[in-house]
Amino acid sequence: MTVYVAAQITITDRGRYDSYKNAFIDVLRPFGGRLLAADEAPLLIEERWDYEKFVLISFDDETTLRRWMESPEYQRISIDRLAGSSGAVLLVRGL
């Protein structure tokens, strides 16, 4: 079953976040992940939203997603994401 990573973030250190962003695709591709959306200025159409950026990534299944997140390659770059942003990251199961 397809799963998605939905991230809502606020960038707190542009340099650290950009370091993560610049390495991200090369770490995502070997695991079959697909970046579907990455928007630093999404348009709010209802209610309230307290973040700056929205990211949506898909994987074929949860096992592959977890292999990617736990991989040494991702762990190495995620240090810059954690240092350069705050927010929420969700695992969403597809239909």
Residue 14 resides in a domain: yes
pLDDT computed for residue 1 by the predictor:
94
Total structural domains within the chain: 1
Looking at the domain assignment, is residue 78 inside a domain? yes
Domain hosting 31: range is 1-53+73-86
Instruction: Answer yes or no: is 19 within a domain.
Output: yes
Query: What does the pLDDT look like over 42-91, one tens digit per residue?
Result: 999 999 999 999 999 999 999 999 999 999 999 999 999 999 999 999 99
- What is the per-residue pLDDT across 2-49, written as a single tens digit (0 to 9) for each? 999 999 999 999 999 999 999 999 999 999 999 999 999 999 999 999
Is residue 30 included in any domain, yes or no?
A: yes
10 part of a folded domain: yes
Residue 59 lies in a domain: no
Give residue 42's pLDDT: 97
Distance of alpha carbon 8 from alpha carbon 51, whole angstroms: 6
pLDDT at 41: 94
Say what the pTM is: 0.93
Q: Note the pLDDT of residue 25.
A: 97
Q: Is 31 part of a structural domain of the chain? A: yes
Whether 60 is covered by a domain: the verdict is no
